[in-house]
Amino acid sequence: MSEKSIDASNMRGAQNGVSKASGQSLTDALKAIEPEIEQELASLDSALSELQDAATVDRISMAAKRIPPMVARPQSAAQTQAVRQPAPAPVVSLNPKASPTVSATPAKPAAAARPASAQMAAVADKQQVRTEPPPQAQPTPAAKPAFTIVEPVKAEAAPVRPVHEAEPVGPAARTEPVETKRQVKGLVTIDGDNGPIPARPKPVPANGGGGGSDGGGPATKAAFHQRLTPVEFTASLKTAVKTIRHNLAIVMLFTIACNVLVLAIPIYLFQISDRVLTSRSLDTLIMLTIVIVGAIFLQAAFDAVRRMILMRTAVEFAAQLGAPVLSAAARASLHSNGKEYQTLGDLQQVRSFLVSRTLLSFLDAPMAPLFVVAVFLIHPHLGWLVVLTGVILLVVTLLNQRATAKPFGEANTAQVKANLHLDSMSRNSQIINALAMIPEAVGIWGKDTANSLTQQVLAQDRNVLFASISKAARLLTQVAMLGWGAYLAIEGEITGGMVIASSIIGGRALAPIEGAIEGWNQFSQSRAAYNRVANLLTSSPLNFERLKLPKPEGRLDVERLLYVPQGTKRVVLNGVTFALKPGESLAIIGNSGAGKTTLGKMLVGSILPTSGNVRLDLMDLRNWDHRQFGENIGYLPQDVQLFPGTIKANIARMRPDATDAEIYEAAKLADVHEMIANLPHGYETVVASDGSPLSGGQKQRIALARAFFGSPRFVVLDEPNSNLDSAGDMALMRALGHAKKNNITVVTITQRPSLLQQVDKVLLLVNGTVALFGARNEVMQALANRGMPLDAGTGSFGHQQIE
């Protein structure tokens, strides 16, 4: 092609009367680059033939065979997902270090399978031709493709990654795992999803149960629970406090040095007035100035170092206690309105105090006696003046503390309430907007905020008043020292320089006390914040280690449950007693307000009974290791909430170590795999905090899969079909059937008689007491005998008749 164009250009040149000389030089130039062009053509030919070779079926299967050792080994969820994700393969092909084998070869089979993906594959191929030198397109040894797989694993390190991000290159790569999964032993395939899911070796269940997670423990440890990490909040607190103490000790050394160097200025003044001015010695002045300049630099450096240490101490304090405080708050909020979460704000408060000017004043305060001694050395009268003012300032400090502690405390309480309202507003933003409740919501928040601000103004007024008194006292003292010093100078007891120096040193002695008074508010708030942090950490029930137990079988014993909510006299549950064998299923029925949800919460330990016990495998729920218990049960609450993140992360209870196989298993068990597969992004669909883009029924079904994640032995489902259509209802029935097959003990709270077909036993709750309990048929017969057949479809279980 190049040669032809060269000839043509020559011909055109001749025809147009272009000068011979210029036509000749062009031909010469083109001839000169001819070898290079030929070489380029040869290499392109070679590259094309390589690509044709690479597209053979043999190469595809070779590529596929290389995958198993990589994907079958235990990996984190993010890693396994990365292997499954389609996007990275072409990315690898653009990497000059990586073998192009895996990305290039599937392009042609993909074209057959999915026309749309063929275009993408072609793009990938073109990129390959442009960017990959031919020698690297050769088939590589088995170790090379390992790199091509590991590469995307790194790229997939981010935990949540919607699949649409990968779409431009996705389809070409999607065909690759399809080929792979047919040949790879030990891989599970999600139909309709993007690729193979690596299976993780399952621990052998001690009781022949459904297997799955036993709390993250290795298979060799049979069914015994392994804690992820020991929980020791008290130890974390001690470590953090130790760090602060240690760093404060170092800061104190720098503070002492700083304060000693501060004396340089009064000494300089004293020397100038009493020595330099009298002797008129320029040399002395220069020497003194050099010394004072050095001292000032040194003091500034020491001051900077101590501030830097304090800043790092504050960061370390927050870093060490952040996770423990959040964990303890999450646990403590179980029995309250969630105000414990604000303890994270307390941590912030302590952190701010650690870098505040107030703390520096507190640290400077112990050095005050040094300055007082210095003033005493100048003249005892002046020393006593400073001591007297110091005492006055201490009294002012105490009065300030008394006058401000209460309003500051009240301001803080009101602020906590306002923050809780804010939190609830953010959670209920949809309803607030739909019902135009913004003015009311803002009003409630405004009331507490106004209370907080009123108290703060009151406290700050008092604080400012006392701070002004202390400042005035200090300035008056300095004036008094100058006046009395002048008198003493007139009397010849001290020199003029001494008068000025003593005034400066006296001011320096009193400054930390004044600073402490000004920052008292911050100090008292930080002290209270620290106390709340310490209380939360030391009193957390997570601190107490429980015995490691085997994976439960699912036996449930409920004994004489009484529940009277705190602060009320209402008996919600009264003498509730029943038992279930492992694998048995129970439906709790009853009218609205009968106490079903309360009982359900009690069965999963989210509220504790006033008296009585709930036992799983004979062990009271209070005595189960909290983590182990949670891992072995499932719960679908009445009010379903999903976490912001992908569907797969939600099913996996946000556990980073969950494998795709476990997620798939839960989805299958809950019979929601088909529904998820029909979503445009399947398991990678990202759910927002309000649950969008899922419908209420879809959310409920995802939450059902979450309840079945990790092969739980005991599951409580509260109104699991309240949002379901008939298809969802059927899927739920099948899910209950799967649970039965897997020997899972299931308690279903329902108002709908249709679900009762799947259960072994039925419990009728009336006004918090067990009215009927027994085998399904017996209970139904008993109800029919009383003129309340369940199949009437009314959903009413008749309080009056039973009572």
Q: Under the rule (CB under 6 A), what is the footprint of ligand ATP? A: 565, 568, 570, 572, 590, 592-598, 638
Pairing of strands 714-718, 633-636: parallel
CB of 584: closest distance to ligand ATP in angstroms?
A: 21
Kindly state the tokens that stand for 566. 């705190």
Alpha carbon distance 553, 325 (integer Å): 33
Alpha carbon distance 205, 632 (integer Å): 12
Do 313 and 352 contact (CB within 8 A), yes or no?
A: no
One-letter amino acid identity for 207? N
Q: How many CB atoms lie within 10 A of CB 39?
A: 10
Following DSSP, what letter does each residue of 12-42 receive, concatenated? Answer: HHHHTT--HHHHHHHHHHHHHHHHHHHHHHH
CB of 768: closest distance to ligand ATP in angstroms?
A: 7
By beta-carbon proximity to ligand ATP, the closer residue of 383 and 590 is 590
- According to DSSP, the residues that pair with 562 across neighbouring strands are 574, 611
By beta-carbon proximity to ligand ATP, the closer residue of 516 and 599 is 599
3-class SS of residue 713: coil
CA distances for 661 relative to 200, 340, 361, angstroms: 7, 36, 59
3-class SS of residue 774: strand
Alpha carbon distance 201, 509 (integer Å): 71
- According to DSSP, the residues that pair with 615 across neighbouring strands are 557, 620
Q: By Cβ distance, which residue is nearest to ligand ATP?
A: 597
The torsion angles phi and psi of 398, rounded to 5 degrees, stand at -65, -45
Pairing of strands 187-189, 686-687: unpaired
Alpha carbon distance 580, 588 (integer Å): 12
CB within 8 A of 619, min separation 6: which ones? Answer: 549
- According to DSSP, the residues that pair with 686 across neighbouring strands are 646
Identify the CA nearest to 296 among candidates 249, 271, 252, 260.
260
By beta-carbon proximity to ligand ATP, the closer residue of 517 and 607 is 607
Identify the CA nearest to 603 among candidates 715, 766, 750.
715
Terminal Cα distance for the chain, rounded: 99
Alpha carbon distance 324, 708 (integer Å): 28
CB of 420: closest distance to ligand ATP in angstroms?
A: 17
One-letter amino acid identity for 137? A
CB of 798: closest distance to ligand ATP in angstroms?
A: 14
Identify the CA nearest to 203 among candidates 225, 236, 227.
225
CB of 777: closest distance to ligand ATP in angstroms?
A: 24
Kindly state the tokens that stand for 720. 């699991």
CB of 603: closest distance to ligand ATP in angstroms?
A: 12
Alpha carbon distance 803, 794 (integer Å): 19
Alpha carbon distance 2, 452 (integer Å): 84
* Residue 201 DSSP symbol: P
Alpha carbon distance 387, 637 (integer Å): 67
By beta-carbon proximity to ligand ATP, the closer residue of 525 and 598 is 598
Do 751 and 771 contact (CB within 8 A), yes or no?
A: no
Alpha carbon distance 126, 100 (integer Å): 12
CB within 8 A of 599, min separation 6: which ones? Answer: 561, 573, 576, 588, 749, 765
By beta-carbon proximity to ligand ATP, the closer residue of 372 and 614 is 614
Kindly state the tokens that stand for 27. 């031909």
Identify the CA nearest to 240 among candidates 353, 347, 343, 363.
347
